[in-house]
Copies of this chain bind each other. A is one copy, B any other.
Amino acid sequence: MKNDLLLRAARGEKTERIPVWLMRQAGRILPGYRKLREKVKDFKELVKTPTLACEATLEPVQALDVDAAIIFSDILVVPEAMGLDYEMLESKGPMFEKTIQSKKDIDGLRIGSIENWNYVVEAIKLTKSELNGKVPLIGFAGSPWTIFAYMTEGKGSKTFSIAKRMLYSEPEMAHALLDKITQTTIKYLKDQVNAGAQIVQLFDSWGGILSPESYEEFSLPYIAKICDELNGLVPVIAFPKGAFFSAKEIAKLNCSVIGIDWTVNPSEARTLFGGKSLQGNLDPCVLYAEPSVIRSKTHNMIEQFGTKGYIANLGHGVYPDIPVDNVRHFVECVKQYPVK
* A159, A168, A264: residue with the most chain B Cβ atoms closer than 10 Å: A168
A161-B319, A293-B168, A319-B161 given; A212·B286 CB < 8 A? no
Could you say which of B167, B265, B284, B297 contacts A212, with CB atoms under 8 Å apart?
B265
CB-nearest residue of chain B relative to A285? Answer: B164
Number of residues on chain A facing chain B (CB within 8 A): 32
Q: Please measure, in the bound complex, the distance between the C-alpha atom of A262 and the C-alpha atom of B264, giving whole angstroms.
A: 18
A289 to B: closest C-beta gap in Å: 4
A26 to B: closest C-beta gap in Å: 19
Could you say which of B168, B210, B293 contacts A288, with CB atoms under 8 Å apart?
B168
A159-B319, A244-B245, A285-B164 given; A211·B262 CB < 8 A? yes
In the complex, what residues of B have CB within 8 A of residue A161's CB?
284-285, 288, 319, 321
Q: Please measure, in the bound complex, the distance between the C-alpha atom of A214 and the C-alpha atom of B315, giving whole angstroms.
A: 14
A284-B161, A285-B167, A285-B168 given; A212·B263 CB < 8 A? yes
CB-nearest residue of chain B relative to A208? Answer: B263
Residues of chain A in range 133-179 having any CB-CB distance to chain B below 8 Å: 159, 161, 164-165, 167-169
Does the CB pair A263–B211 fall under 8 Å? yes
Does the CB pair B293–A169 fall under 8 Å? yes
In the complex, what residues of B have CB within 8 A of residue A212's CB?
263-265
Does the CB pair B245–A285 fall under 8 Å? no
A283 at the interface (CB under 8 A from B): yes
CB-nearest residue of chain B relative to A93? Answer: B158
Q: Which residues of A contact B (CB under 8 A)?
A: 159, 161, 164-165, 167-169, 208, 210-214, 242, 244-245, 262-265, 283-286, 288-290, 293, 297, 315, 319, 321
